[in-house]
Structure 1
Amino acid sequence: MDPHRSGQDVLRCDLCEDPGPSMYCDVCHTNLCKSCVGEHLSDELIEHRVVPFRKRGSTLTCTKHSPKICELYCEQCNGPICSLCVSSGDHEQHKKIDIFKHFENKKAEIKEDLQELENNIYPIYQNIASRIPVQRDKVKENSQKLKSDISKHGEILHRKIDALIEKEKKRADGINNKFLVALKKQEYEYANCISEIKQSIVCLRTLLDSNDICLVSSYRLEIDRYRKLPAKPMMAKTIFFPTNVDEKKLSEQMSHARGSILRKEKQGYILKSPDSLSSPPDRTLTDLPQIISNTDIQYENPGKFRSISCLNDEEFWTCGDDNIMRLYNFSGNLVKSIQTKSGRMPRDIAVTKTGDLVYTDPWNFTVNIVKNTQIYDVVRLQKKWTPEYICCSATGDFLVVMFNFDKGEVKVVRYSGSTEKQTIQFDSEGRPLFLIPNDQCGTDCTTYIAENRNLDICVADVHKHAIIVVNRAGELRFRYTSITKPVGIATDSQGRILAADSPNNRIHILDQDGQFLRYIDNCDLYTSTPWSLSVDNDDKLVVLMKDSGSVKKIQYCL
């Protein structure tokens, strides 16, 4: 065979040079045809390993006992071993499997990972990456609009400043005009005096030149009145004292309207493995939930409590069938109490990210916020819609459940401050997502609401006997109907949904996709009625028991 043309030649047996060798010695790295296998194995001084040609390279020689062939794989040591390694006792208690079995297992893992990368992960990355140019164009477009808005606002400020300057100029002209009038008056007075003095001088000169005794004797001294001079004219001078420009206040004037801020997450979401329904959460559920604390609230009628919302790990707000909202600690001590602005009882309460209390007043058609001890109306509605239940979004918005009893309608409205941003009422086919309770005054009137960590909106619809979950865009994700009458609802840091099933004195725990995980049906829930739910910062469940008025803190996850 011409060595210069060997790159273009087919593979050949290294012994007889027949084309298309079907065997290969993994120890000697020799191509063999079937006829030459026996001749190659005749050299007994070397331990040969002849395999089909397609499996060449699958034989390993031991790094410690070369040229011994490794036939096993030690899972503890994570490496191939030979028979001498086994007999040495170093791997006596270790789990060992056939090296080819290990090889096939790894190939299967590689195949699965390859399929996941090609069919799942890679397309997602491509899809996300393809959006970046569009987002970049939107950022540029928004930047131009933002600068245009700033320029327009700057023009408004310039016009206001120019108007102030003109006003100050006119004020200066007014002051100067007053000085000019005063000077003109003084000028007139001096002119008269000078004219009179001139006449007196002429008369006195005449008298000096006269020899008429009678005329000179009649002279009366009048010079004294000229010795007392009129007021001297003062120099009129108006001085302008400019104030320092407060850059902070000026910056605030320029910053009334701000654009949205693009935040980069520290870490993106984790893709689930295709062969598993859900990834194990960071905080797994306990086998047996336990009561950490049981707080008895001092209240005249504890059975009339309606709602609870955790302020932090140590304190919680409550409200009931009177016009007082009360802040307690878990020792049962009253920390603070706030009376509603209207003097009527609130329907529901929630706590914002900044720790402020918000409540709904359906009797006054308002959503209110408490800052320190002051109460402000955030939303004021027309009388056909009443604000009933509320939760605070992670984005700082308010999500309010509203009833229209005249038309028998229910909707969820998102507010950013007092601005209505979104209304959620119907599904994609135009059917109502939620149903209004039959009893406006009874327990069926509860429609508690919560937001999940993925910004899904979760509504406990008593009338439909279901948990209704929609995404942030208001599109229906799922309905959970395996519950008798859902009342209180809450979510935790893992995205799990917790719902109180009051008739059965238990609490359902679902994952964020609506899959049932387990019940909490111990913790003395049967002694009263679990009603309103809240989860504190440490994922402890806080349950308001309606009949007894007690508050239970339950550890249900690790």
Structure 2
Amino acid sequence: MMDPRTSAQDVIRCDLCETAVVQMHCDTCLVNLCKACVGEHISTDESKDHKVVKFQSRKSTPLYPGCTTHEKQQSVMYCKQCDIPVCISCIESNEHLGHELSKILRVLDEKKERITKERNELNGTIYPTYQDIASDVQNRMSQLEKEYGDLSTAITKHGEDWHREIDKLVKKLKTEVDEIKNTQLQTLQKHLDEINKTMSDIKGEIDTIDIATDTKDLSELFSVTSSVHIYKNLPEKIMPSLPKFMPQKIHKEELFKLFGILSSSSLTSVKHGYSMKTTQKSPEAGSSPLVKQLLDEPETVTTINTGYRSLYNVACLSDEDIWTSGSDSTMKLYSISQGSLLKSIKTKSGKMPSGIAVTKSGDLVYSDDRTVNIVKNEKIEKVIRLQNWKPYGVCSTSSGDLLVIMESDNDRQTKVVRYSGSTEKQTIQFDDKRKPLYSSGPYYRYITENRNLDICVSDIAAGAVVVVNQAGKLRFRYTGHTPTPKNEPFRPVGITTDSQSHILTADYDNHCVHIIDQDGQFLRYIDCGLSDPWGLCTDTIANLFVAQNGNKQVKKVKYLQ
């Protein structure tokens, strides 16, 4: 249902109380008013000569900037030599005698055209370029984790051949690997944080320009300045270099010397490592991650039988392994390529997990009953203990925080809480009008973080995907798209995002997955013989994993080029 306050078919509402129908208009401030709010509007700024008229008699004349020299006079001309707007009194004073004067509307029209072009450049090329750079850094970090894992495995295997004599040396070398890895990851994380901050600044500038170009307050437009030239200076490209492990033959008398050493490593910054994103193909474009297009026909790659009585959740440990959970207390790790069970872990409480996720460091996180727990080295640590609340979905964010969607014991309230370790940092529960963002009731809900740091929740009871920004402000609600494959109401359960900032959610009753963009626009369905899809996750190479409750299988689907 459309909001009566924002519907294009609704009557115009008062700008002050936002409820009463407009009857009056202030030509000075360009504000719509009901009769009851006229006095309040005039009293807020008595220095102005408010011209309040009937709404039908309002003028459409622009509000010129005030003169900085002559109070209460409007500037109608612009002095190019002095680079300031001037009023009639300024011109008559001969202060600008001989200077080149232009009509201020012409100057502002030229500026509006210029900053609109800059806004289009920011939105069309610069911001997408930074998105690709952020994706490139994230992919390098994932690859770095995998390659350092391989390096640690090689060292461990060689150490087993040497038995007890070299345990101390193995530990020393692995510590060096960890220190090098952590140093490089910290450097890349700092680099990624800076890129994300710049992307946020660019978005803010785009919003500022959009507001300024839409307003009738020309002084506000005149005050807009663009930093597009700053953003064109793209960040340096950091290229981590891995050390190499070089094993030697075993000679006990030269144990330390011959066991093997790590080669030197480096993190290099390439000043022109990235190129600006364009809509045309060019040789330089290969150095930046390409925008991946959706396949016309998604392809089923493989299926994995899990053996659960009911299958609910799936989470990617890597591009090779996935965690699953279902209707019992056991969480299972499967090899994707072999379809074989690698490991099983039971919850500490003996109850089924309501949500699972994998942290950036590869640790399994799960929620159950009253707790959120992390599994490290097959040992379960309780991270969060709740009182009067039940946790459902959980996700690990790009910053290392945990987001938990939870329901009150009386099933009347739902909220999202951000934790750093066990410390509560943020609560998201209401919109700007103190109305609940999420429905209440004992229903499963799932949560994920998008690349732009939006927080996305699948709210099955409301039949909606609710998306807020990092600060918890509502961005949009997606309530499905018609026609649906089975013509059933939209019932979203599992939710995930991908490298293109797409939001994917499982529609249980319609046996499909919806793909929407980061702004809530429907893109397409994935409908390739899914059976009661529930949990979702994506890997780093354009594959979607669907936990199918109907046949207890995880289906791997390729949906991006």
TM (normalized to structure 2)? 0.49
Question: Which protein has the larger Cα radius of gyration, Structure 1 or Structure 2?
Answer: 1
